[in-house]
Amino acid sequence: MSATNPLDSFRLDHRRAVITGAASGIGKAIARAFAQAGAQVLLLDVNAEKAAEAALEINSATGLACDVASETSVAAAFDRIAAEGAPDILVNSAGIAHVGTIETTSPDDVDRLFSVNVRGTYLCMKAAILQMKPRQSGVILNLASIAATSGLPDRFAYSMTKGAVLAMTLSVARDLLASKIRCNCISPARIHTPFVDGFVQKNYPGREAEMFATLARSQPIGRMGTIDEVALLALYLCSDASSFVTGADYPLDGGFFNLR
């Protein structure tokens, strides 16, 4: 029997992890989990104040302002990161949502979601890859969604952008095999985040309990997922525990895709 503890493969000691959208929700949970696994975490968020606040809560974390939709902002953030060493891990968690069919979705809505969910993921991947490639190592994890592969009602623009995230993940994984850079994505179903709380409070005042029960029932398992469950899967996919995994889309959906 090997003396090595297999759980050691989940450790991220001496690794620099860049996480976008890290000031709240899923991104913050991933940052917390990575820090607990030993990583030096760099929290990127469009809200500089919230990024700094989140960094204060997490050991070995630094908050940086970054608008992922802006080429200039992304370049500046990754230049600051490179000054202390190339990232070993990139997690693209920044994203925005929209409710609407193709008939109720305006061109401005499409442009707004595309700029963050698609352009933002592209810009951050490209910036990270430029720093990872000379070292011939690195891991990229994108946050897609079950909306990328399922026909969800009233989610036209969101589904379109998450489908693009999935396609980019597969393309990058294939193109960077020789550079030893792995790229995967997680496709969550409904996860209980501050966004869900805000959406329910805004659109269903006085009916919050009823709506939360409805949202829970939409997953065959009978509840929404948690941000910590996403973070644990992210830790697996960004650690050596998943060294044989690339070009994969991991559903985290409470049975939504196969058990409806």
pLDDT for position 15: 98
Cα 50–chain centre separation:
17
Domain range list for the chain: 12-191+225-255
pLDDT for position 214: 87
pLDDT for position 3: 56
pLDDT for position 118: 98
**Catalytic positions:** 158
CATH code linked to domain 12-191+225-255: 3.40.50.720
Q: Which residues make Cβ contacts (< 8 Å) with residue 52, sequence separation at least 6?
A: 63
pLDDT for position 60: 85
Helix (H) / strand (E) element for 89: namely: strand 89-92
**CA-wise closest residue to 147 among 113, 120, 176, 177:** 113
Q: What is the pTM of this model?
A: 0.94
pLDDT for position 1: 40
- Report mean pLDDT in 10-residue bins for the chain, 260 residues: 78 98 97 98 97 94 97 98 97 95 98 98 98 98 96 95 98 98 97 86 88 87 95 98 98 89
**Which residues lie across from 16 on neighbouring strands?**
40
**CA-wise closest residue to 55 among 84, 75, 35, 38:** 35
